[in-house]
Amino acid sequence: MSLQDLNNIPGVTAEPDSATQNFVFNHTMLRVKNIEKSLDFYTRVLGFSLVEKRDFPEAEFSLYFLALVDKAQIPADDAARTLWMKSIPGILELTHNHGSETDDSVVYHNGNTDPRGFGHICISVPDIRAACERFETLGVDFQKRLNDGRMKSLAFVKDPDGYWVEIIQPQPM
Amino acid sequence: MSLQDLNNIPGVTAEPDSATQNFVFNHTMLRVKNIEKSLDFYTRVLGFSLVEKRDFPEAEFSLYFLALVDKAQIPADDAARTLWMKSIPGILELTHNHGSETDDSVVYHNGNTDPRGFGHICISVPDIRAACERFETLGVDFQKRLNDGRMKSLAFVKDPDGYWVEIIQPQPM
């Protein structure tokens, strides 16, 4: 569909208000039960870097901010890193409510059964076949393998809480 | 917290596997009840551009991909635009199940009441006071105004389905 056609779809404001200039879609927040398992998954399996942690001891939770960037891009200075990570798109925020990892009553909802809402996050990779083979080797859980279903050009893996992570590659396969 | 301390937190892989090089956190998907209202909110209020639409008439749903970028960055050529929007971070995918807008049984869940999971998306803005004043003028629903609660440096607005959209500014206020 052409850009012109997209701009004519009902609801679309084709020329954004100049007041929104330099707005950035900075992050997406997910609650996680076991932060150690989640940090392992997002850093070791998917390649994110942990770039900030904020603790709220009175309210008994901590926030972990992760970026999927070349390590060389991450400012070493703490204040500069905070400014940077609030300025770029593609940050993942994980919320850990202290003690949830040992509380059997805490099971987070991935949004894909009733009540539905949030669906998934998505990682774009240069070579989806190589990426999926590596995920198999690492023992990652799949929601949909490349060859499952009709859409052979995408896969879904699951993070430790069962959130769906879509895997795509930009170039047609 | 220093980068070194962050890298020593249990679960963190400090040096990502080279196999994850050029992985990109591309998008977050949310289901929306009334696509026209959601497109209006995300394009007019927040400044996103609609950069791709994919229809699945047999399965009765459509996908809308939005980017919060300078219009000049959007490739005019359709194939180039698809490649581009799958390659960058910060894309928002909205899923519209056809007919949901007139189906009273469809109410999407924002993840912040039981069963909890997904929490919010976040938009970073250059001037949070100006942004929030504009949202007030536009009649946007607030979950938390700047002056509500303890955290005076952030706000939460609600999209047409009630999903929370955090508003932050990188620079300290």
- How does pLDDT run across A83-94, given as a tens digit for each residue? 999 999 999 999
Whether A107 and B95 lie within 8 Å, measured CB to CB: no
ipTM for the assembly: 0.98
> What is the reported pLDDT for B163?
98
Q: How far apart are CA A24 and CA A27, in angstroms?
A: 9
pLDDT band at residue B21 using 50, 70 and 90 as cut-offs:
very high
Query: What amino acid is encoded at B158 in this protein?
Result: K
Nearest to B9 among A53, A117, A124 (CB): A53
Whether B39 and A119 lie within 8 Å, measured CB to CB: no
Name the minimum distance, in Å, from the CA of B154 to any CA of chain A: 12
Looking at the annotation, which residues of B are catalytic? 166
Query: Residue B168: which residues within 8 A CB-CB, separation 6 or more?
Result: A26, A86, B122, B123, B124, B125, B128, B153, B154
Instruction: Check pLDDT > 90 for residue A166.
Output: yes
pLDDT band at residue A148 using 50, 70 and 90 as cut-offs:
very high
Average pLDDT, chain A: 97
Whether B161 and A38 lie within 8 Å, measured CB to CB: no
pLDDT tens-place string over residues B76-131 = 999 999 999 999 999 999 999 999 999 999 999 999 999 999 999 999 999 999 99
The answer to whether A96 and A62 have CB atoms below 8 angstroms apart is yes
What percent of chain B clears pLDDT 90, i.e. is strictly above it? 98
In chain A, residues with a C-beta closer than 8 Å to the C-beta of B30 are: 117-119
Q: What are phi and psi of A117, to 5 degrees?
A: 180, -105
Instruction: Check pLDDT > 90 for residue A12.
Output: yes
Instruction: Check pLDDT > 90 for residue B170.
Output: yes
Name the minimum distance, in Å, from the CA of B103 to any CA of chain A: 15
Mutate to test the interface with A, among B69, B97, B118 (most CBs of A within 10 A): B118
Q: How far apart are CA A92 and CA A90, in angstroms?
A: 7
Instruction: Check pLDDT > 90 for residue A173.
Output: no
Counting every residue, how long is chain A? Answer: 173
Whether B111 and A117 lie within 8 Å, measured CB to CB: yes
In chain B, residues with a C-beta closer than 8 Å to the C-beta of A122 are: 25-29, 91, 93
Name the minimum distance, in Å, from the CA of A133 to any CA of chain B: 11
Q: How far apart are CA A84 and CA B129, in angstroms?
A: 20
Burial bucket for residue B158 (CB in 10 Å: 0-12, 13-18, 19+): middle
Q: Which residue has the tokens 């047609």?
A: A172
In chain A, residues with a C-beta closer than 8 Å to the C-beta of B131 are: 19, 23
The answer to whether A131 and A168 have CB atoms below 8 angstroms apart is no
Whether A11 and B38 lie within 8 Å, measured CB to CB: yes
The answer to whether A73 and A91 have CB atoms below 8 angstroms apart is no
In chain A, residues with a C-beta closer than 8 Å to the C-beta of B116 are: 31, 108-109
CA end-to-end distance (rounded Å), chain B: 21
Whether B87 and A170 lie within 8 Å, measured CB to CB: yes
pLDDT band at residue B173 using 50, 70 and 90 as cut-offs:
confident
pLDDT tens-place string over residues B61-91 = 999 999 999 999 999 999 999 999 999 999 9
The answer to whether A30 and A66 have CB atoms below 8 angstroms apart is no
Pairing of strands B118-124, B164-168: parallel
pLDDT tens-place string over residues A111-147 = 999 999 999 999 999 999 999 999 999 999 999 999 9
Query: Residue A36: which residues within 8 A CB-CB, separation 6 or more?
Result: A101, B10, B11
In chain A, residues with a C-beta closer than 8 Å to the C-beta of B17 are: 44, 47, 134
Average pLDDT, chain B: 97
What is the enclosing helix (H) or strand (E) of A27?
Answer: strand A24-31
Average pLDDT over residues B26-34: 98
For chain A, how are helix, strand and coil distributed in percent, rounded to 5?
A: 25, 30, 45
**CATH number at A25-100:** 3.10.180.10
Q: Which residue has the tokens 């002056």?
A: B147
Q: How far apart are CA B84 and CA A91, in angstroms?
A: 19
Name the minimum distance, in Å, from the CA of B6 to any CA of chain A: 6
Average pLDDT over residues B130-157: 97
Query: Residue A159: which residues within 8 A CB-CB, separation 6 or more?
Result: A32, A38, A41, A42, A165
What is the enclosing helix (H) or strand (E) of B40?
Answer: helix B35-40
pTM of the shown model: 0.98
Whether A118 and B116 lie within 8 Å, measured CB to CB: no
Closest to B50 measured CA to CA, from A13, A142, A148, A110: A13
Name the minimum distance, in Å, from the CA of A147 to any CA of chain B: 19
Q: How far apart are CA A27 and CA A90, in angstroms?
A: 6
In chain A, residues with a C-beta closer than 8 Å to the C-beta of B170 are: 82-84, 86-87
Show me where the domains of chain A are located. 25-100, 118-173
**Torsion on CA atoms B138, B144, B146, B149, rounded to nearest 10:** 160
Domains A25-100 and A118-173 share a fold: yes
Q: Please check whether the domain covering B118-173 is classified as CATH 2.40.70.10.
A: no
Q: In 3-state terms, what secondary structure has residue B167?
A: strand
